[in-house]
Structure 1
Amino acid sequence: MRDRLQTADGTADRDETTDYETVSVPVLVVGAGAAGARVAISLADAGVEPLVIGKSDHGDAHTTWAAGGINAALGSLDPEDDWTVHAADTLDEGHYINDPEAVELTAKHMPDRIRELADWGMPFDRTDAGEINQRYFGAQSFRRTCFVGDRTGEAILDALVAKAQDMEIPYRDNVMVTRLLTDGERVAGAMGFDMESGEFVCFRSDHVVLAAGGSSALYERHSSREDENNADGPALALGAGARLMDIEFVQFHPTGMVGARYGEEWDGRLVTEAVRGEGGRLLNADGERFMEEYSPDQMELDARDVVARAIAQEIREGRGTDNGGVYLDISHREDQYIRDRLPSMVERFDSLGVDITEEPMEVAPTAHYTMGGVDIDFSTGETGVDGLYAVGETVAGVHGANRLGGNSLAETVAIGKLVGEHVAGQVDADAAPALTDGQRALAEREFRSLAALEASDGDVTARELLADLGEILWEHAGILRDEASLKQGLAELDALRERTADLRIEGDRTSRDFEFAVDLSFSLPIAEAILRGALERSESRGAHYRTDYPETDGDWQRNIVASEEPTGLELRTRGVAEPSPEVQDAVDTGYELDYHHLE
């Protein structure tokens, strides 16, 4: 990674002896959300004992914030649905730059993964006939989204963690990985520190799986908590020699809470799509249901990019609320129905003095998900760097230019199982490799660098720089983009990089200040990749909207691949494969949601 931050004068004591803990394991899984947990379960099933590490307490991963549901073509309510239609919807929503293999593997395996989760105790909502219930989500042809009220992600992670604990899979929480241990050709482990004790840790493993989330929290306004989706996964992979793909595609969820009304701590936090899936209506400040103008057929359940741009347009043209949002209203549904289907939303807003059974919520778009990430082979999880694998939101491919709601959780368990099975086949289960002298030297160099970072005593904090970076991305690589603004964003990013030489750390390695400084080193290269990818793609496609190139260009049905070269970040394009004949048939049939079933 080019953006490792140092002391104000850029020096460190090279002769200092650095103490650190060494842990040797057959497989290291970095990230303890649904993707990492499902990989670990597959490994354990195959007789390989991994170590799972996470930045937060066990069971408290970002997965818990994915509230509305998980997709699988079960046909509980719409028997004509099947995996090929699920795949076709995913390709259509991704504007046909998805990896077709990734899409088909996810869609094909999801019915079994849902039944598996139910067998593991996940309490899915059920129909009167006892089938797993399904709801509408935006841009889906049928009711395909399985759910547990509006806390589906939490229920999935609970089920996976319980299964992992039953299998006695080792786990270590509150550990932050700062760099992968690699010689540039293969991975030999990872380095980091214990966030509670401050102790340095070197993990020695010939197989490392990155399941560390995405990059949406780089934006000023986002739906993640401040210690999640900080670009750890893609930045670690890029620094180890892996490629990134489609990093310019960032999904702006239409309905984030408006901090000016609910308080800064809630600004951008997600109001689940389940509200709209259950019939919620979007109204501007004049009380007009404005989606009738933008999407009269699919209304509030059109693709997320369409709805987000519509809201942004209403606000820009002066029809937003005084707080800079619009209204989302579900109060026309029966009170008990709302309380049964959306209990978390009822509880959250009630704590803020809003009864959503009686009055609307105030919402505006928020950065929510990164479709781009590490370029992998989806049947194996391989990144092109020997021994390094990736899965979940850390990777690109399933979602293309825009993610179908309910597919993020689906990808974690469908692909996570396959990656775990593949990695298990590459591992000597009894191997506990020791550090070589060369690897030890690499680890000690990293720990000296971190010690130097801790000693930084300049004039600017990492928190300030991250806030400024968030503004740069929101302003220049947000919902609406153009060439002049993107170039200005790159210039501002260069200026921000120069300011990192004057960094100040307030506290030791256990402080949030130090954690934010490490986050900053991840954020800078990924922010550059987002801006440069968005500048390179001279068209509008899905979540990437260029006001100077407002049309989709058939010649741009290509992926942008980024790699770190000696001269800096290098971009190139690559063509997209064709879907299978059965999925192409479903695409050609042109299935489409009839929103008015909800009326």
Structure 2
Amino acid sequence: MTDLERHSYDVLVIGAGGAGLRAAVEARESGLRVAIICKSLFGKAHTVMAEGGAAASMGNVNEKDSWMVHFRDTMRGGKFLSHFRMAELHAKEAPDRIWELETWGALFDRTKEGKISQRNFGGHEYPRLAHVGDRTGLELIRTMQQKIVALQQKDGRETGDMESGIKVFAELTITDILKENGKVSGAYGYWRETGAEVLFEAPAVVIATGGVGKTFKITSNSWEGTGDGHALALKAGANLVDMEFLQFHPTGMVWPPSVRGILVTESVRGEGGVLTNSLGERFMFKYIPEVFKDKYADNEAEADRWYVDQDNNRRPPELLPRDEVARAINTEVKSGRGSEHGGVFLDVSKRISAEIIKKRLPSMWHQFYELAGVDITKEAMEVGPTCHYV
């Protein structure tokens, strides 16, 4: 029998996406020794799929925005089922987190005045999404990786060992949270390449493993999103809450089959993309819930005017919260008004020029051109709902 590989840390963070890395930074800056467990390669996290931006009421594009409006939008978008205190904290603290990322090296797009640019998104009354083209999540992960490396370099200068205070264990899967006398004492797992088992001793364990998207056939998630953290917590005796709240993004690719479910960022609609069915009908006007009718246009003329005069017109219904748009698309397809391959059409080419599309949505242009043979500067995309987050 081979010897069991053992490690001892103050804090064990399972998961190396945005949440896990931010937790690791906080723990290390508090003077604790930290281990980061990464099931896949370091930097390969579903955070990358937050392509369109990160919501924060900085008011850089519309000064009317505030944390209170953001809080209201969050509660209303969540059908008033959201935990109000969590929604309040999120709305209040989001601007500080964006500015923090900028001080750590994040390169956000800018307004003409040099402020962080913000774009429109579904469910948000004002332009609120700080963004880096349509690759925002990639920039967030790059920035967090850079911060981890900076902390390691600092430890290296002080101790001679860059991994003395914070170490990343990549391609390692955790299978059990360990407990001793009723308290968490560490975790147990194995190296994916060799199967060799590993024991981590730690009095504090942070579970930041992402969602369960890969349990669905059509999903934007990569192979790692199999609900490991939920299982680990449940086995360790924790309670799981709100498990029914899975987010289905309304727009994923539907053709060809090999790419079905790959995300089509909401920023396509934020930049002016419209949804139509196989009859050419802009159908979202039929699906505006009563609670949103004061904020969303019920006719094409007003919806189109909103793009040039947002103060005096209601928003296009394509920018309703994601669950509303996803249900509407699903209804259209099931009613026989879907596209040839079981989706609907999303077209941004009639709203903005090819030059602007390639500047603001470079990943989407490349994704459709390479994977589906579709030039989104000239033609519509086929899209449909895809399991996105939990």
Give the TM-score, by structure 1 length: 0.57
Matched, 1:225 2:222: yes
Matched, 1:30 2:14: yes
1:145 equivalent among 129, 142, 150:
129
Structure 2 partner of 1:290? 283
Deviation per residue, 1:508-551 (Å, 9 max, x gap)? xxxxxxxxxxxxxxxxxxxxxxxxxxxxxxxxxxxxxxxxxxxx
Q: By how many angstroms is 1:88 displaced?
A: 1.4
What SS is found at the alignment partner of 2:7?
strand
For 1:329, give the aligned amino acid. Answer: D
1:342 equivalent among 337, 361, 366:
361
Asked whether the 8 Å contact 1:257–1:270 carries over to 2, the reply is yes
For 1:360, give the aligned amino acid. Answer: A
Matched, 1:109 2:93: yes
Structure 1 partner of 2:155? none
What SS is found at the alignment partner of 1:317?
helix
What SS is found at the alignment partner of 1:245?
coil
Q: By how many angstroms is 1:71 displaced?
A: 0.7
Q: What is the rounded CA distance, in whole Å, between the counterparts of 1:361 and 1:107 in structure 2?
A: 33
Identity of aligned residues (%): 46
Deviation per residue, 1:120-145 (Å, 9 max, x gap)? 11110100110101011101111111
Map 1:135-534 to 2 at 5 A: 135-168=119-152, 169-183=166-180, 185-227=182-224, 229-258=225-254, 261-264=255-258, 266-295=259-288, 296=298, 298-332=316-350, 333-352=352-371, 353-370=373-390
CA RMSD of aligned residues (A): 1.3
For 1:77, give the aligned amino acid. Answer: V
1:66 equivalent among 32, 50, 58:
50
What SS is found at the alignment partner of 2:359?
helix
Q: By how many angstroms is 1:222 displaced?
A: 1.0
Q: What is the rounded CA distance, in whole Å, between the counterparts of 2:362 and 2:273 in structure 1?
A: 15
Q: By how many angstroms is 1:22 displaced?
A: 1.1
Q: Runs of 4 or more off by more than 4 Å in structure 1?
A: none
Structure 1 partner of 2:83? 99
For 1:57, give the aligned amino acid. Answer: L
Q: What is the rounded CA distance, in whole Å, between the counterparts of 1:248 and 1:18 in structure 2?
A: 43
Gaps of 5+ in 1: 1-16, 371-599
For 2:257, give the aligned amino acid. Answer: G
Asked whether the 8 Å contact 1:184–1:241 carries over to 2, the reply is no
Structure 2 partner of 1:392? none
Q: What is the rounded CA distance, in whole Å, between the counterparts of 1:325 and 1:97 in structure 2?
A: 29
What SS is found at the alignment partner of 2:108?
coil
Q: What is the rounded CA distance, in whole Å, between the counterparts of 1:283 and 1:60 in structure 2?
A: 34
Q: What is the rounded CA distance, in whole Å, between the counterparts of 1:25 and 1:226 in structure 2?
A: 28
Deviation per residue, 1:467-504 (Å, 9 max, x gap)? xxxxxxxxxxxxxxxxxxxxxxxxxxxxxxxxxxxxxx
Q: Which has the higher relative contact order, 1 or 2, with Cα contacts under 8 A spaced 6 or more apart? A: 1
Q: What is the rounded CA distance, in whole Å, between the counterparts of 1:340 and 1:148 in structure 2?
A: 11
Matched, 1:130 2:103: no
Give the TM-score, by structure 2 length: 0.87
Q: What is the rounded CA distance, in whole Å, between the counterparts of 1:189 and 1:44 in structure 2?
A: 18
Q: By how many angstroms is 1:304 displaced?
A: 0.9
For 2:363, give the aligned amino acid. Answer: S
Deviation per residue, 1:162-212 (Å, 9 max, x gap)? 011010131110000011112472111111100112210111111100010
For 2:364, give the aligned amino acid. Answer: M
Q: What is the rounded CA distance, in whole Å, between the counterparts of 1:86 and 1:28 in structure 2?
A: 33
Gaps of 5+ in 2: 153-165, 289-297, 299-313
Matched, 1:47 2:35: no
